[in-house]
Amino acid sequence: MAEHLSQSELDYPFKLLEYLNGFRISKVIFAACELGVFELLMKSPGALSAQHVAQALDANADGMERLLDALVGIEILEVETADGTALYSSTDVANMYLARGGVKSLHDMVIYQSQTIYPLWNNMTDAVREGKNQNHKTFGIPPEEVFEAIYRSEEETLKFMGLMNSSWILDGQDVVTAFNLSGFQKIMDLGGCTGALARELAKAYPSSSVTVFDFLEIVEIARKHFLQENDTFTFESGDFFLGEVPPADLYVLARIVHDWSEEKCLRLLKKLYHACKPGGGVLLVEAMLLENRRGPIMTQLFSLNMLVQMEGRERPPSQYTMILNQSGFTNVQVCRTGKSYDAILAVK
């Protein structure tokens, strides 16, 4: 884009046009993932023609050729032409992140974005008008029951858990080492879902005990589909809004506070304040907005996602600090990791 740098958007709206077509680029990647393009190209010993890819994936050759060309246009695939035939091959990025099954694969994230987030975002205008989530229009589930919508079927539950799991493949280590947590003996990951972050906590702090706390149904699925042989963390089940939470020295709340209204967050954090001893603490793991409201754009988009799907919002550090102080916690420390998710530590 170097040739555009000297020209202003007023002369020609390069950036604006790119933004207006952003959804098309997302859909190109979503369709390729759903069709299995990246697995096929990864496993193939040589470059493949569109005809060959289409046949192998039970698709139309002309449609596939246009899709593959667009993937080349966004530099996710490569193409060479030999004797008039275009031959397509994968790139390292596509093999590592888009093909299914690799240790760093974001395939589950792509599938959730395509099949759940995209339909919800189709109602963005209404969400902004009404100021509430669009689960009713999209899935027929009332707006108060956010996790009933997310967990509306076993298949959807697995897809959501796949999405949650994939974030910590990229950011887990940075988030758990943002602060030295080795002084906390008993660490409880509340709403810990698949255990992906608990695994990173257990690796970074081998002398602490790490427990994942979540709904019984989620714990059962996590044990069955996500637990690995050498995992050392344990599970407990319950509802953190009902009754008491098990005692711990450190409560980890990763992407929990952003799901809920300020009032519900205060209720939960006050409960945690009473459940831990002096010296105990909470670690919030969230994508934090900038205080000057100018970004990061990813976090601003996540906040709109919380509007269309949940009850919560993304917040800047000052708002997390205020909620923590109002719950009784002090010594609030904020660490921006530079990746998608940041960490905030506060103690009793």
**Residues designated as active site:** 258
Q: Which two tokens stand for residue 84?
A: 């008039």
Residue 259 contacts ligand ASE per CB under 6 A: yes
Q: How far apart, in whole angstroms, are the C-alpha atoms of residue 238 and residue 236?
A: 7
Provide the residue count of the chain: 348
Return d(Cα 30, Cα 75) in angstroms, integer: 15
Under DSSP, the state recorded for 290 is: P
Candidates 77, 305, 314, 345; binder of ligand ASE (CB under 6 A) is 305
Minimum distance, C-beta of residue 67 to ligand SAM, in the bound complex (Å): 31
Query: Judged by CB, which is closer to ligand ASE: 53, or 176?
Result: 176
Helix (H, G, I), strand (E, B) or coil at 104: coil
- Put residue 59 in one of left, alpha, beta given phi > 0 → left and psi -120 to 50 → alpha: beta
If you search the block for the tokens 């994939």, which residue do you land on?
Answer: 166
- Closest approach of ligand ASE to the CB of residue 193, in Å: 9
Tokens standing for 236?
Answer: 């407990």
Q: Does 193 bind ligand SAM (CB under 6 A)?
A: yes
Judged by CB under 6 A, the stretch of 29-37, 122-130, 237-245, 289-297 that binds ligand SAM is 237-245
Cβ atoms of 114 and 34 within 8 Å: the answer is: yes
How many residues sit in the footprint of ligand ASE (CB under 6 A)? Answer: 8
What is the CB-side half-sphere exposure of residue 340 using CA atoms within 13 A?
A: 13
Binding mask 166-195 for ligand ASE (x = CB under 6 A): ------------------------------
Region near ligand SAM per CB under 6 A, out of 38-46, 127-135, 248-256, 288-296: 248-256
Least Å distance, CB 123 to ligand ASE, is 15
256 sits near ligand SAM (criterion: CB under 6 A) = yes
Cα distance between residue 331 and residue 325, in whole Å = 9
Distance CA 236, CA 81 (A): 57
Choosing among ligand SAM, ligand ASE, none, which partner's interface includes residue 302 (Cβ < 5 to 8 Å by kind)? ligand ASE
Q: Which of 255, 313, 315, 348 binds ligand SAM (CB under 6 A)?
A: 255
Segment lying near ligand SAM (by CB under 6 A), choices 60-68, 103-111, 113-121, 254-262: 254-262
**Residue 39 binding result from ligand SAM, ligand ASE, none, given CB thresholds of 5 to 8 Å by partner type:** none
Report the residue number, 205 or 320, with the smaller CB distance to ligand ASE. Answer: 320
Spatial CB neighbours of 131, under 8 Å, sequence gap ≥ 6: 307
Residue number closest to ligand SAM, CB atom = 191
Give the pairing type, strands 77-82 and 85-90.
antiparallel
CB of 133 to ligand ASE, least distance (A): 10
Structure tokens at 239: 């509802």
Pair 325, 306: CB distance under 8 Å: no
Q: Which parts of 138-177 interact with ligand SAM (CB under 6 A)? A: 147, 164, 167
Binding-site ranges for ligand SAM (CB under 6 A): 147, 164, 167, 191-193, 197, 214-215, 218, 239-241, 254-256, 259
